[in-house]
Amino acid sequence: MEQFININRLFNQLPIEYTYASKDDDIDLTGFNRFQQGGALDWKELLETYRVVILAEAGAGKTQEIRHATQMLRTVDKCAFFIRLEHIADDLESAFEIGTYQEFQSWLNSNEEGWLLLDSVDEARLKDPKDFERAVRKLASRISMAIPRTHLIITSRITAWRPKTDLTFCNARFPDLLPAQRRNKNDTSDDISSKETSSLPPLYQPIYTNKQQETGFKVYTLTDLTSDQISVFVIEKGVKNSTEFLRELERRDAWAFTTRPQDLEELLEFWTDKQRVGTRFELIEHSVKRRLEERDQDRADSRPFTVEKAQKGARMLASASALMHESIFQVPDGTTNLKGIDVKSILTDWDDKEIQILLSRPLFDEAIYGTVRFHHRSVREYLAAVWFAEELKKAGSRQKIERLFFRTQYEQVIIIPSMRPVLSWLVLFDSELLLKVYALEPELILEGGDPSRVPLELRRKILSSVCQKLDSASFHRSFEERIALQRFASPDLVGDIINLLEAYRHNINVTTYLLNLVWQGQMKAALPAALSFALDRTRGEHTRIAAIRVVKEIGTKADLDAVCTYFLSQENSHGRGILAELVDSLETSQESIAWLLKALKNTPDENRYDSDHLGYSLLEFVNRADLDAVSNLVEGIDPLLHCQPVIEQRYCEISIQYGWLLNLSIRAVEKLIIN
């Protein structure tokens, strides 16, 4: 098990439009973890909540975090269990990684509150899409009498979570109680969860009053690592030239590659060896080699084992995992465990000692007792692709290999869904497959792997193809996933992006996508084009928001001031989404307060059936502002709250037009009182 570094990870709750207000599962989660940055919760606050879903990208550290949280709860004598969701459907007893089934039974027979931390939805669906539902039904049935006193935390990759369907299903199987109801049932409890779930400071309380915000699962995401957290992580890792490493990140605008602990760790290893920042392909290739080496010299001398042999074995296991849709492997240690892949059936010419040496390398993590898994799915997919690439070089193998990735359905060739992650890596090793995938479904090249290694001319064609599909509204959802954008946001495409922005200037989908590429890729040459969109009121709101993000990221203060000035010059009502984006980066000076009050004066209330994060942005502004600025803001909002016509409630006259500012004013006053 790798060293866990506690850097006080924080969690953002997704706004209501991503959860209970969602009409279906097809919603865009791009930039979702940028919401409510100032109102982020830490683990102590999160563990007081009864129903939690944590969404994060691969490598964000969600598994390590909930494992550590489980251990911390158990050190203070709480009944806490770390459970693998993918094993529950078949055998609940073997699903416990921290805590035992016997302890679980004892807890069920008690009156104590308990914490079940369930990892992870994406792994549960790997073998069979229905396994997650089966696991939830089985667990719900098993703990039916204890559900009111159970804290449930479920983790998932973003792409594996269905925002509407899964939330509805989990709420139905694990019904939650209102705080008052829970107090009646648990009035003898004296542990940390006896506090109401609304224990956040007043400034961070949700705006919504819907009962669904008080009960049911709340959906959170791990925030990206901050520069302070990165500094702590780097120092704790013992990097001798940590200051120079951090300066290099700043010079290279490489902070986007440090948002997740796994990325940061592999970047540090690469930096230690090369003294530079590498590509995703370079980082994973480097990580695999490093994790397969024996770092203990005494052990290496006593058990000689070449890296080449270890790589060959790891590739064979990765390919078997991909083909069998099974993530865990049996360790030949004499125990009887029927779970997972029998490694000896794959590495037939290896003895038990050699297999144990391979599986003990840090490329693998412990799963349940007697089994291991690859430490990260991306590594497993990369290694499988390398194995398949070698097989393709053998005479007569191409047709057999391609059948594993493609099939003909209704006279049409399609890509087998379960093999897409491996194929996105494999195309980097085989030009024939690359061209075939490009002809069938070019967006797959963006889903994984490292698109920066695809030849520039083909990347230019892919970008043009993506824009054409966006223009026809027949695009795949993954186009706009942040991680896909980041992988494809290569500066050598900036000329094409500028031309495409002009060609599709009147298409909101295309321009928003291209401007997000500019934003992710830090493409300074495209700043003038982005400014032209930010300063054009005829553009759609989403396009202007994307353009403003570019200006905030790579423009000067004068550029951003120009956007703010232009925003106030608009005669029509100000767009709430655009104002939210500007408020997120607004300084807390007196000039900024004056600008904000003018902007608010011409900003309408939220539409009844729409949602935006302006409320969160304004609350965060109050949170980071000093007391003088907050005081001036309260004074400026007060006249707006009294503007005619008004609505009277219990002798309190509030402006109909500006009543939506009341919550902001109240919380600003609360801050003045508290401080």
- Per residue in 487-534, pLDDT (tens digit) is 677 889 999 999 999 999 999 989 998 998 898 778 999 999 999 999
* Cβ pair 547, 515 in contact under 8 A: yes
Nearest Cα residue to 300 out of 346, 360, 349: 360
CA distance 661 to 605: 9
For 225, which DSSP code?
A: P
367 pLDDT more than 80: no
Give the model's pLDDT for residue 34: 45
Give the model's pLDDT for residue 30: 46
CA distance 427 to 438: 9
Nearest Cα residue to 225 out of 374, 40, 376, 468: 40
Mean pLDDT of 1-17: 80
Give the model's pLDDT for residue 645: 87
Phi, psi of 328, deg, nearest 5 = -115, 160
CA distances from 177 to 148, 189, 309, 425 (A): 7, 15, 55, 46
Give the model's pLDDT for residue 532: 95
Give the model's pLDDT for residue 69: 96
SS3 for 577-623 is HHHHHHHHCCCCCHHHHHHHHHHHHCCCCCCCCCCCCHHHHHHHHHH
Only one residue has tokens 């024939």, namely 432
Laid out side by side, the sheet with 371-374 consists of 341-342, 328-330, 371-374, 364-366
Helix (H, G, I), strand (E, B) or coil at 68: helix
Mean pLDDT over each residue of the chain, to the nearest integer: 83
Phi, psi of 620, deg, nearest 5 = -65, -35
22 pLDDT more than 80: no
CA distance 642 to 659: 9
CA distance 278 to 290: 15
More confident residue, 121 or 613: 121
| Per-residue exposure over 526-541, b if at least 16 CB sit within 10 Å of its own CB, e if not | bbebbbebbbeeebbe
CA distances from 139 to 82, 151, 372, 569 (A): 13, 13, 24, 58
Residue type, 381: E
Give the model's pLDDT for residue 203: 31
DSSP H stretches of helix in 30-120: 43-46, 62-75, 85-88, 101-108
CA distance 75 to 68: 11
CA distance 151 to 50: 4
Phi, psi of 123, deg, nearest 5 = -70, -35
CA distance 475 to 402: 25
Tokens of 63: 């598994």
Helix (H, G, I), strand (E, B) or coil at 522: coil
User: pLDDT grade, residue 19 (50/70/90)?
Assistant: low
Structure confidence by residue, pLDDT tens digits, 629-649: 999 999 999 999 888 888 876
Neighbours of 400 (CB within 10 A): 11
* Cβ pair 244, 474 in contact under 8 A: no
Structure confidence by residue, pLDDT tens digits, 184-225: 655 544 443 333 333 333 333 333 334 445 678 999 988 888
Of 279-293, 296-310, 420-434, 451-465, give the lowest mean pLDDT range. Answer: 296-310
Q: Where are the beta strands (DSSP E) in 57-148?
A: 79-84, 96-98, 114-119
Structure confidence by residue, pLDDT tens digits, 146-189: 999 999 999 987 767 888 889 999 999 999 876 666 656 555 44
**Largest interatomic CA distance in the chain:** 87
* Cβ pair 272, 246 in contact under 8 A: no
* Cβ pair 85, 170 in contact under 8 A: no
Give the model's pLDDT for residue 188: 44
User: pLDDT grade, residue 275 (50/70/90)?
Assistant: confident
Of 271-275, 461-465, 664-668, give the lowest mean pLDDT range. Answer: 271-275
Q: What percent of the chain has pLDDT over 70?
A: 82
User: pLDDT grade, residue 575 (50/70/90)?
Assistant: confident
> 328-330 and 341-342 as β-strands: parallel, antiparallel, unpaired?
parallel
Helix (H, G, I), strand (E, B) or coil at 55: strand
CA distance 202 to 641: 21
Domains in the chain, CATH or no CATH each: 11-222 (3.40.50), 227-258+260-292 (no CATH), 297-375 (no CATH), 383-447 (no CATH), 455-569 (no CATH), 589-675 (no CATH)
More confident residue, 484 or 441: 441
* Cβ pair 80, 115 in contact under 8 A: yes
User: pLDDT grade, residue 37 (50/70/90)?
Assistant: very low
Give the model's pLDDT for residue 173: 95
Give the model's pLDDT for residue 90: 87
CA distance 562 to 540: 19
- Cβ neighbours for 127, distance < 8 A, ≥ 6 positions apart: 86, 325, 326
* Cα angle 80-130-59, degrees, rounded to a multiple of 5: 55
Of 136-145, 206-215, 605-614, 656-665, give the lowest mean pLDDT range. Answer: 206-215
CA distances from 550 to 534, 567, 582 (A): 9, 16, 12
Give the model's pLDDT for residue 572: 72
134 pLDDT more than 60: yes
Give the model's pLDDT for residue 111: 94
Give the model's pLDDT for residue 149: 95
Record the pTM: 0.62
